[in-house]
Chains A and B, each alone.
Chain A
Amino acid sequence: MKNRTPKWVLILVGLIAVVWTIPILGIVITSLRPLSEISLGWWRTEELSFTLDAWTKVWSKYPLAQSFWVSVKVSVLATIIPVLLAPAGAYAFQFLKFKGRRVLLIIIINAFVLPNQLVVIPLFRLWREVGLIDNIWAVIIPSAGLSFAWAVFLVKNYLEDFPKELIEAATVDGCGPIARFFHVVLPNSLTPIAAVAILQFLWTWNGLLLPVVFLRSEITLTALLARIQGVYDRNWDQVSVAAIVTTVVPLIIFIIFQRYFTAGASTHTGSKE
């Protein structure tokens, strides 16, 4: 099979990949050049100089650090909840027999098709009643709640191939159903749990709808970015910095752990065929 790959394939794919990174390249360069030079486009090279001006100024102009911290809190908490609860649920559905198991499983898993928009109006009213508007939990609770559909599915899918002998052995040794979960199943299913953590963290971090609706004063980075652009404040260099700060955490995680996406995707396919 080696070296039978036509050269043009590599060139074409490479070319597309380079074109694909132009928007990202654009904001990186924009953030590094003085505004006077790039007002006609970041690619202009009549004058070419680099500066970290925007990187130092942006922190005082926008509440970037505060929003960064809000994003961290929201994403971490909204990730911890499904990471703790989804494996327990998946285990119960896979290995425990109880009444209503099938119906409950069907309801939970199929909920993943429901759009985020669904929660906006009811929860807006509910949060207003209980005073959760502008509180990060207003975003965390639905972000976590909506994740269970796919998170339970992903972990349960993995558990379908879990060696039954291990569980039987633990049962013989006198482990109850909950002890079996904590001592046998949980330590051995870190792969799907990691996948759940990564996906959930990224999606929460990148989400815009829920923060825009439920947060007012302390907002997430994505909401801040949308707000900065909304006021038509064209400090291209500084907004670029804000955009990069918004992207850098998820992008690093994303690139390092991208194989988990593939893993998630292939388990999806496997189960449906």
Chain B
Amino acid sequence: MTSNTLNNSNPDTKSLGGSNQKGSGPTKGAAASKWVWNDTTAAWILLTPLLIFFAISVIYPLFETVRLSFYDIRGVAKPVWAGFANYQKLFSDANFLNAMKATFQWTIASTLISVGIGWALALMCSLAPSQTLVFRVMIFAAYGVAEAVSGFMWVGIYRPDAGLLNSILNGIGLSSWAQPWLGDVNTALWAIIVAYVWTQVGLPLMTCFASIQAVPRNLHEAAFIDGASPIKTLWHIVMPLSLPGVRVAIFINLLASLKAFDLIFVLTGGGPIRSTETIGYFMYRESMQNFKLGYGAASTVILLLAVLLVSIPVIVKRTGDAK
């Protein structure tokens, strides 16, 4: 490795061919005629601006959050060392325990439902790729709508007085089912999950569809020649081969829903009686509204651990692959 840093030659230049035997004669000659940086210097020149941003917005917050989680901080007063007190308090705080439960419920439910629907849609769309293009875009469009906006849209659907959902229920004679969806502790979380699924389905639809499109055409043809029906082809060939897309979608959805904040902020603000607070929202409430920064930081560390738990298998795999 170190020999490469002595001149600017890329190790790949050694494979240039017969005329360039043993080392990099022409390269060196050309390089000597002009002043050029070696790889190491060039790499650091190219990377430094990026690393500054990265350090400020990832590295520093990472360590600082962990550090602050061991302090008792009230507003702008001087932080007081608190040891594990914040963590002990968290695990005896009914609101936090509920936030953990809500996060778990939210993450599992929204991932399973949106990936399930998205995958099923992708499989159906793959039967007629060109005819369903418009439909795919229509469904995918919801993924491009800001959660702040979709929150507003769903308030219009859920509101108790003249919401679309209650009106439909009344219209088809199920008035007894109508209720204040976002105002009831029993339904509020599920109501937000449904709204969230609405925004998310587009992603698994697209990733699954993309990996189905990558299924070699001749596999379809072989199945066709063998007399398999489209549905059979779908079941035995396309579905197994679309699994990469499904895995990506599950992974992205899990991570995104663990961090959930926007939709809850707009739809319920964590209510009623803090029943729809996820960990991500709990942290916002404790640190930005109750000004308990240390306490909020401790809950962020818990969130971080949850995120790492989900992603470590992927990280390990990717890290093993990295060259």
Contact = CB atoms under 8 A, between A and B. Distances in A.
Interface residues of A, number: 119
Interface of A: 1, 4-6, 9-10, 12-14, 16-18, 20-24, 26-27, 30, 39-43, 81, 84-86, 88-89, 91-92, 95-99, 101-102, 104-106, 108-111, 113-126, 128, 141-142, 144-146, 148-149, 152, 164, 167-168, 171-179, 181, 202, 205-209, 212-213, 221-223, 225-226, 229-230, 236, 239-240, 243, 246-247, 250-251, 253-255, 258, 261-262, 265-266, 268-269, 271-273
13 contacts: A5-B230, A23-B142, A110-B319, A115-B300, A144-B57, A146-B58, A167-B10, A177-B38, A222-B149, A243-B149, A247-B144, A250-B145, A272-B317
Contacts of B5: 97-99
A250 B44 CA distance: 35
Interface in B264-314: 265-266, 269, 280, 283-284, 287-288, 293, 296-297, 300, 303-304, 307-308, 310-311, 314
A20 B147 CA distance: 15
B248 to A, nearest CB: 5
B220 interface: yes
Which of the four size classes fits the interface of chain B? 35 or more
Given A102-B322, A171-B27, A91 B46 contact: yes
B222 interface: no
Given A24-B142, A120-B288, A172-B30, A115 B280 contact: yes
Given A17-B138, A92-B47, A121-B300, A141 B162 contact: no
Contacts of A175: 36
Contact of A144 (B53, B258, B297): B53
A247 B27 CA distance: 53
A125 B293 contact: yes
A181 B131 contact: no
B16 interface: yes
Interface of B: 1, 4-5, 8-13, 16, 26-27, 30-31, 33-34, 36-40, 42-47, 49-50, 53-54, 56-58, 60-62, 64-65, 68, 76, 121, 124-125, 127-128, 131-132, 134-157, 162-164, 167, 198, 201, 203, 206-207, 209-211, 214, 220-221, 224, 230-231, 244-245, 247-248, 255, 258-259, 261-262, 265-266, 269, 280, 283-284, 287-288, 293, 296-297, 300, 303-304, 307-308, 310-311, 314-315, 317-319, 321-323
Contacts of B198: 20, 23
B57 A174 contact: no
Nearest to B139: A20
Contacts of A17: 134-136, 138-139
B153 A13 contact: no
A119 B57 contact: yes
Contact of B10 (A98, A171, A213): A171
Given A88-B47, A95-B10, A13 B135 contact: yes
Contact of A111 (B58, B139, B148, B207): B58
Given A17-B138, A144-B57, A177-B37, 6 more contacts: A115-B258, A117-B280, A117-B283, A168-B12, A209-B262, A250-B146
B255 A113 contact: yes
A85 B128 contact: no
Contacts of A13: 121, 124-125, 132, 135
Contact of A123 (B11, B53, B57): B57
B50 to A, nearest CB: 4
Contacts of B47: 88-89, 92, 104
A9 B127 contact: yes
A89 B244 contact: no
Given A106-B319, A113-B311, A121-B287, A174 B30 contact: yes
A251 B155 CA distance: 20
A141 B37 contact: no
Contact of B265 (A6, A86, A212, A243): A212
Q: Which 6 A-B pairs have the closest CB atoms?
A: A145-B57, A176-B36, A254-B144, A177-B42, A174-B30, A122-B64
Q: Which of A10, A174, A213 has the most CB atoms of chain B within a 10 A radius of its CB? A: A174
A153 to B, nearest CB: 9
Contact of B65 (A104, A118, A174): A118
